Amino acid sequence: MIEIRQFQVFLAVWENRSFSRAAQEVYLTQPSVSGHIRALEEILGVRLFDRSGKDVTPTSAGEVLYPFARQILRLNLQAEREIAMFLGQEKGSLDLGGSNVPGQYILPGVIGRFKAERPNIKVILRISDTATIVASVANGELELGLVGAVVPKKGISFEPCFHDDMILVVPPGHRFADRGQVSIDDIASEPFVLREKGSGTRLTMERALRAAENLQISDLQIVTEMGSAEAIRQAVRAGLGCSIISRRVVTDDLEHGLLYASVLEGVQLGRQFYLIWHNQRSLSPLALAFRDFLFSQDVS
């Protein structure tokens, strides 16, 4: 019979492509990891990994086993949570994801308030771009995510929960700094700092510019692409160019005159943040509680 620990070790080796790194992750010695994998291979009667020096590659059989191992461990964790809830002992961990802006500027406060009522739980927050968070919820790595754009994915529900205003920002001394409104033609000729592909901010901006004037990203004078809202903020402050960013990110800069905001004429830059989950999987009681709690919050 296969033991849960063997599945845990198998997943660690599969995901790290290394016995030594897997050993560190599951707090075992490398010989113990090798022993668990060898025992699992004997039970199944098939080789799960090819070893060539330091390289570890899953075999075809290993690829087949991987999604089942993930599901088994997920169900095991869910069973423990359900029993804990039945016994009135709300504990366990919740894996959340947030795209850049909601992950940095909304979720930490919400998590703090949620955890204040549940001191025995652990919340793990992963921050990445919208596309990556959607993919992680789809493959079961995360139970819930909060993202800045709809990226259609089979099985994923998108529920709008918070509004966000995006604005054009420029550094002090820029020719737009004292102008309340700026045209699309104006920004098309300006150095522009852009978020990376997969970002909800970028997706929203692309859709808004296309809808307003059929302007494409390739029509802008892109000087750099950056992987976080904070990097964009610092780049604009340093004078690299203008950018479109969530007002939440630059509120303090606007108040202290470190950045200036202008309205883009004819462009609707308001957007929603969306809570996402997999609608073909049962959410854990903790995830259900967090979802209800999140929708009760005012984070304007």
Percent of the chain at pLDDT exceeding 90: 38
Q: At 266, is the secondary structure helix, strand, or coil?
A: coil
- Give the pLDDT confidence of 161-192 residue by residue, as tens digits: 999 989 999 999 898 888 888 888 888 889 99
Closest CA to 293 of 44, 95, 31, 109: 109
Cα dihedral sign for 164, 167, 172, 178?
Answer: negative
* 193 and 235 Cβ atoms separated by less than 8 Å: yes
How far, in Å, CA of 20 to CA of 139, rounded? 25
Domains recognised in the chain with CATH numbers: 4-84 (1.10.10.10), 89-162+273-295 (3.40.190.10), 164-272 (3.40.190.10)
Residues making up the chain, counted from first to last: 300
∠ CA 24-29-35, rounded to 5°: 120
pLDDT at 49 over 70: yes
Give me the phi and psi of 281, to 5 degrees please.
-125, 150
How far, in Å, CA of 196 to CA of 132, rounded? 12
Name the pTM for this structure: 0.67
pLDDT at 87 over 70: no
pLDDT at 37 over 80: yes
How far, in Å, CA of 28 to CA of 179, rounded? 62
Residues in contact with 285: Cβ distance below 8 Å, sequence separation at least 6, in sequence order = 81, 82, 85, 90
pLDDT at site 238: 93
HEC string for 139-156: CCCCCEEEECCCCCCCCE
Look-up: residue for tokens 């080796």? 13
